[in-house]
A and B are shown apart, each in its own frame.
Chain A
Amino acid sequence: MIATPFEYLAPESLGAALAALAEDSEGTAILGGGTWLVPDLDSGARRARRVLDLAGLGLNRIDRGEDGSLRVGAMCTYTQLADAPSPLLAMMAAQITGGAAIRNQATIGGSLVAARAQSDAPAAAIAARAVAVLASAGGERRVGVHELAPRRDEILVALELPPPAPGNGYRKLKLGASSWPIATAAAAVGPDRTIVVLGGVSASPIRIEALRPEELTVTVEHPFEDALAPAAYRAAVAAPLARRALEDALRRCG
């Protein structure tokens, strides 16, 4: 039960949304799919004077460029992503925990902005070399998802993805069907670059890049701990999981 009253805004254009956000950026909570925000408001972990719903802004499109690049609207749901022509985002979305209610509701943008250590999306998006498009009343800026830290007056509107690498692998370790990820590993292998990104094992994703797969080494300096798994466990499973994702990616390279 959300205990404190708030004002609910559902603007129908990005301009109107940004203007409303500029009025009270500190007191505003931006509502994507709501799968994080609503429980937080409900439990009292977060309070807001205003809730700004992005549902009316048309940010739920996936556009494919001729070169295979993608622009993914921030309000795209996991259900949409599961069919998207991005192997990493599609593999990630297909393994989302929580059933249809979550897959149809939760958004890629919301997940990236919430940036919970347990989230599925960040590692996959980083391995896909996604660039975040952030809008504010002052204009637009672009930043790699691995550096994403929106200001309070900004709205994440889209991700831009370069054409996918030839080989991709995504592995997720969780304790049961209802569990958040304990660790995720997203691997992309191209002719001249290999990247593995580990999610869930530390507060923010760990990027490991190398010229060749065999040069990758995995170390987790500050492993994350939560009610589901201790830090030592995350540290222990990071390397095997990265190896498995990489092996998948190499196999798909042919």
Chain B
Amino acid sequence: MERRPLHDGDIIAGGRARYTADLALAGMAHGAVVRSPHPHARIRAIDSSKARALPGVIAVISGEDAVALCDPIPHSLDAGQLGGNHAEVRCLALERVRYAGEALVAVVAEDPGTAAHAARSVEVDYEPLPAVVETLDALAAGAPLLHAEWGSNVIIAGHAGDHDFDAVAAGHARIAGEVRSHRGTAAPLEPRAWLAEFDPAERRLTMYATTQNPHPLRTTLAAALGLDERRVRIIAPRSGGSFGSKMYGNREDFIAAVMAIAAGRPVRWVEERAAALLPGAHEQVHRYEAAFSDDGRVRALRVSSLSNHGAPAPGHGWGMALVGALTVGAGYAIESVGVDYTVVATNKAPWNGTKPFGKDGAALVTERVMDEVARASGLDPAEVRRRNMLEPDALPCLTPTGIELDSGRYAVALERALERLDYAAAREAQRAARARGELVGIGIGFELTPEGADIPGALVAGFDTSTVRVDPSGRVSVLTGVTSPGGGNDTAIAQLVAAELGIDPAEVEVVQGDTDRTPYGFGNISSRGLVTGGSSALLAAREVAERLRAVAARMLEAPEVELRDGAAHAGGRSAPLRAVAHAAHALGYVVGLDVEPHLEATRSFRPPNIRHTGTPQPYANYPYAVHASVVEVDRETGLVRARRHVVVHDCGTQVNPLLVEGQVHGGVAMGLGAALGEELRYAPDGRPLSDSFKTYLLARASDLPEIELEHLVTPSPFTPLGTKGAGEAGYGGAQAALLAAVNDAIAPARLDALPASAPNVLAAMTR
């Protein structure tokens, strides 16, 4: 379909967009919270008398005060119900804090300055406890425990795949090693923000929130606050970026509601940057062992992945470890794959769902194995991948870890990437550079991203719902349960509906993120906005188009009606769409008798390949990409300069290729940025060190090469248009390719722990 810019792109780029923090209500007060400076401490006493005495302070709410207002936060994915440990988490910490930055007191005041002053005036008597910060330390015997009743710091441990490694590996050569990824975060420019108002007479809560999932947030908030779900309205204004960080299950959503209830006033609370940089992800230790035959084919792969989750949390964060385990080796024809995953609690801030939700870890370890097999066998790294990738006719295919790959042409993507790079010439240039004493490396990274998840028991569904409505004036609205994180699914949904109704996409208004207006939906999660929201809107639009055609057929007195250019055409005559719409409403008994009255249809789309019986299939589709990176490394400083980055990406049918490119560019920038040095660092005592964009270094445009992007289109057999998710593309393959390129440059030295920041690379070279 058409390359079309965001319908609201000029408003956003022009600085005229309004975000949650820009909104105000009459009588609005302002919130702030007291955060623990200690990574682990017992709260002995809280003295808020000085804070309360400050002029302009409206409410000071401790964790104990909040108990009466808010139950423990409902888990969105409870490890305790899946064989792991349950942690009861309240909005404000009670008795104990388990990470530096954990909120324990909320303050509401007349203005933000007074609120901040009051928060700093609350005196907390802490009894510091021994903190555990690093993954392996948390697993060591005698480690301080975050939850003594668990008997360990393991939140959950499990296995994906088979147990056949030893049998399959017998007689083959082996490689083994370890690769580590570092803690990073989503780092949207817009921190989380809320504006909440509570009406005590009707017990009605209205909350504007930076959330990806307004309806699930409504359900869980109502449950924890003891409210009727129908009297809770969540509105998610335009998003300034989320990338997973605004998934429901954040305790802060509950703090914001408690502030408004306790204050009896509308309260706005905008999280400070240091707090926005607390939620973690990615931090893993992968130990791998692989057996391969002389031809470079990987026969068996065994991985043990340890995830440093930080303090237990009610969100989905730990699920990233499970998803990563399921994705290891996917796309390659490996007979035996087994992955043990262990999610470890430490006194860092908790993991939070973060793009690309664990699939980065799978790409990192799988691509490392391919490179190590190349190194051990003397084969070229591209050749090793070529020999191991699943052939297109092998699909659909059940992987050893149990996911059913639907469609894909992995080796074709690889060849395209190598062609675009001119691989032979790039290797020749590398040899020439080395002869001059320069360190140049080439790396390949393959990513496969299961998308469109349906998680049993969680409010994360593989389906979603849209309403298409045409008013008597002929105006078209789509009300959909999916939300847009800024990637433009609203623009693409408008395109889909407009095409069915024969109108310009600019004529379609897409309504999202308001629980009182849209059908119950699951928001943006798991790259499913277009697959579910788009497909359901398409189905609803087809139904409405059918009714419009039937009405128009009566009006034009001809049976075959075509909707195009804003009008119904039949038998050489035409009627403007607004006239047809008006007639459908005003002359329903005259021209509308052939169809259901009213130009409104609500449809859901449920991908048919998801199932939870037999071999469970939680995913709807499997987009993928092949990346190739070229880097230069400064021998004296370890600085890595990314020179080229090629991506060949396949998300099936593209509704709007411009938006898909935006997604891939963003994902590649995040993945390269992570690989080059975005890192949430902690002091050995557990204090977070990366509390601003001067200490958490996002990649800027000048840090990155031009992203050379090409597309393959292998349609999904399971969606109406063949679309697949694109929202998590780019990250995992880019990160893996960049690390591989750095290691190619500095060989025989090798960096085993990301990021490939200059200090780490220089240390690896001089080790």
Contacts and interface: CB of A to CB of B under 8 A. Distances in A.
A107 B676 CA distance: 30
A180 B693 CA distance: 10
Contact of B693 (A44, A178, A240): A178
A240 to B, nearest CB: 4
Contacts, number: 70
A44 B120 contact: yes
A16 to B, nearest CB: 28
A4 B698 contact: no
Interface in A1-20: 1-5
A78 to B, nearest CB: 16
A227 interface: yes
A180 B696 CA distance: 11
B682 to A, nearest CB: 10
A1 B32 CA distance: 10
Contact of B120 (A3, A228, A237, A240): A3
Nearest to A239: B636
Contacts of B763: 232-233
Contacts of B32: 1
B690 interface: yes
Contacts of A230: 759
Nearest to B682: A227
B115 to A, nearest CB: 8
Given A3-B117, A240-B636, A233 B700 contact: no
B376 to A, nearest CB: 31
B113 A175 contact: no
A48 B636 CA distance: 44
Contact of A173 (B120, B272, B274, B637): B637
Nearest to B694: A180
B67 interface: no
A176 interface: yes
Contacts of B272: 1
A interface, how many residues as a size bin?
Answer: 20 to 34
Contact of A233 (B693, B695, B699, B762): B762
A227 B694 CA distance: 9
A229 interface: yes
B89 to A, nearest CB: 27
A236 B700 contact: no
Interface in A142-184: 173, 175-180, 182
A121 interface: no
B757 interface: yes
A178 B590 CA distance: 67
A2 B112 CA distance: 9
Which one of B112, B636, B690, B758 has the highest number of Cβ atoms from chain A below 10 Å of its Cβ?
B758
Which one of A2, A175, A233 has the highest number of Cβ atoms from chain B below 10 Å of its Cβ?
A175
B681 interface: yes
A102 B729 CA distance: 34
Interface in B727-767: 757-759, 762-763, 766
A241 B120 contact: no
B759 A240 contact: no
A44 B116 CA distance: 10
Nearest to A97: B694
Interface in B685-701: 689-690, 692-695, 697-701
A1 B116 contact: yes
A176 B32 CA distance: 33
B81 interface: no
A227 B703 contact: no
A186 to B, nearest CB: 17
Which one of A1, A229, A236, A240 has the highest number of Cβ atoms from chain B below 10 Å of its Cβ?
A1
A43 B116 CA distance: 10
B759 A229 contact: yes
A182 B510 CA distance: 48
B503 to A, nearest CB: 42
A227 B758 contact: no
Interface string B671-683: 0000011000100
Contacts of A229: 758-759
Interface in B631-685: 636-639, 676-677, 681
Contacts of A232: 763
B528 to A, nearest CB: 32
Contacts of B115: 1
A227 B759 contact: no
A177 B695 contact: no
Which one of A178, A180, A229, A230 has the highest number of Cβ atoms from chain B below 10 Å of its Cβ?
A178
Interface string B180-209: 000000000000000000000000000000
A233 B638 CA distance: 10
A175 B758 contact: yes
Contacts of B119: 3
Contact of A227 (B636, B637, B690): B690
Given A180-B694, A241-B637, A1 B113 contact: yes
Contact of B113 (A3, A173, A237): A3
Given A227-B690, A228-B697, A233-B759, A175 B677 contact: yes
Interface in B471-515: none
A4 B117 contact: yes
B613 interface: no
B637 A179 contact: no
Given A177-B700, A182-B758, A227 B116 contact: no
Nearest to B688: A227
A133 to B, nearest CB: 30
B615 interface: no
Nearest to A236: B762
Contacts of A3: 113, 116-117, 119-120
A33 to B, nearest CB: 16
B112 A1 contact: yes
Given A175-B757, A237-B636, A227 B689 contact: yes
Interface string B16-47: 00000000000000001000000000000000
Contact of B637 (A44, A177, A228, A240): A240
Contacts of A1: 32, 112-113, 115-116, 272
A39 B691 CA distance: 12
A233 B759 CA distance: 6
A177 B112 contact: no
Interface string A178-202: 1110100000000000000000000
Question: Which A-B residue pairs are the 6 nearest by beta carbons?
Answer: A240-B636, A3-B117, A177-B700, A233-B759, A3-B116, A227-B689
Interface of A: 1-5, 39, 43-44, 173, 175-180, 182, 227-230, 232-233, 236-237, 240-241
7 contacts: A1-B32, A43-B274, A175-B757, A177-B703, A178-B700, A236-B762, A237-B758
Given A3-B113, A180-B694, 16 more contacts: A1-B272, A2-B113, A39-B692, A175-B677, A175-B758, A176-B676, A176-B697, A177-B699, A177-B701, A178-B700, A179-B697, A227-B689, A230-B759, A233-B638, A237-B758, A237-B762
